[in-house]
């Protein structure tokens, strides 16, 4: 098997393991019976994010064993104006999209009725930890290994195909939205030479969506 095939297999196995563990009724029932419905649901989300981060980031072991580089930690980006535009996109998109009924039914993931500043920080940190593992897996391991063997266009095609598939449980709108954004993430990594750029943009999408969802929600209060 070549590195591309192994990378695709690792991503598939990591996500399957994550999905079936975090969606198992025993986990949810244990958390809720031990900590109560609201706190149990919050801890289930936190645990799921941390588990996902660990599983996804562990795919980088393959690169280490094979002595393959992850994308450089340094960022080389010559198009500063484009970078600024990319920073503004998630905020502007979520300013309007987050108020949708479908979005508010799913986000924020933590359904605690009263959010403290501590919970805001905890949720933001666990989101970023989760997305760090996510980007290491998708853009650091999968994209890097595919680019080196099958070229840019094929690497993007493989990346966004799997990226869209893992979003199916989140509904049609979000799944379709991953196609253009997946291309943006891959190209951002290609132009900057680092997955840190896609990680930062992904964090902006997730956090701005959560914060706007909190703002628009009629059931949740932030104190």
Closest by Cα among 143, 109, 127 to 200? 127
Which two tokens mark 70? Answer: 């992850």
pLDDT for residue 64: 86
3-state secondary structure of 71: coil
Pairing status of strand 114-115 against strand 221-222: parallel
pLDDT for residue 159: 98
| List of residues 6+ apart from 172 with CB closer than 8 A | none
Quote the pTM value: 0.93
pLDDT for residue 89: 87
pLDDT for residue 54: 98
Domain boundaries, the chain: 3-222
Q: Which residues of the chain have pLDDT under 50?
A: none
| List of residues 6+ apart from 195 with CB closer than 8 A | 70, 71, 135, 136, 139, 140, 143, 189
pLDDT for residue 80: 61
Helices (H), the chain: 3-22, 25-35, 37-57, 60-65, 80-97, 101-106, 117-135, 143-150, 152-165, 172-192, 195-216
């Amino acid at each position: 098997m070549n590195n591309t095939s192994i990378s695709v297999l690792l991503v598939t196995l990591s996500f399957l393991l994550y999905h079936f563990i975090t969606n198992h009724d025993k986990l949810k029932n244990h958390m809720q019976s031990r900590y109560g419905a609201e706190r149990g649901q919050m801890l289930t989300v936190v645990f799921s994010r941390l588990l996902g981060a660990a599983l996804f980031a562990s795919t980088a072991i393959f690169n280490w064993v094979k002595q393959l580089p992850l994308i450089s930690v340094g960022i080389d980006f010559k198009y500063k104006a484009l970078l600024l535009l990319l920073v503004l996109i998630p905020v502007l998109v979520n300013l309007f999209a987050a108020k949708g009924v479908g979005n508010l039914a799913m986000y924020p993931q933590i359904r605690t009725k009263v959010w403290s500043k501590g919970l805001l920080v905890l949720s933001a940190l666990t989101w970023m930890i989760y997305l760090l593992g996510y980007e290491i897996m998708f853009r650091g391991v999968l994209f890097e290994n595919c680019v080196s063997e099958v070229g840019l266009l094929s690497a993007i095609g493989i990346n966004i195909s799997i990226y869209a598939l893992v979003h199916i449980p989140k509904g049609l709108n979000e799944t379709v939205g991953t196609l253009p954004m997946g291309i943006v993430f891959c190209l951002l990594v290609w132009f900057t030479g680092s997955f840190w750029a896609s990680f930062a943009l992904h964090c902006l999408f997730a956090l701005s969506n959560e914060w706007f969802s909190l703002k628009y929600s009629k059931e949740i209060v932030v104190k």
